[in-house]
Amino acid sequence: TVDTAEGGKEAIEMYKQSMDAGDPFNIVILDLTIPGGIGGKEVVKELLAIDSKAKVIVSSGYSTDPVIANYVEYGFTGRLVKPVQIEDLKKEIIA
């Protein structure tokens, strides 16, 4: 199943609820930039504080952004550059 959040704060709350329910998310894909909200760089820190084993993938259309280039240093386990190709998505999910 897939759940979606409109912003970073909602994503964090949803992750907390899934952990509390004993049914944690297998993978979280976060957009790096959320206009008017907190983006992936900030959210991944919160998710890792909740669950140090969280699998979090960053997504962005800004392929030259330092976070995309060095995603592991920021706590992400994978990256997707927009427009996302299905093969890239499969690779990140299976990894």
The predicted structure's pLDDT at residue 37: 87
Quick check: 95 pLDDT over 80? no
pLDDT at 35: 84
What is the pTM assigned to this prediction?
0.93
φ, ψ dihedrals at 30, nearest 5°: -115, 135
State what percent of residues in the chain have pLDDT above 90: 88
Give the tens place of pLDDT for each residue, 22-49: 999 999 999 999 888 899 999 999 999 9
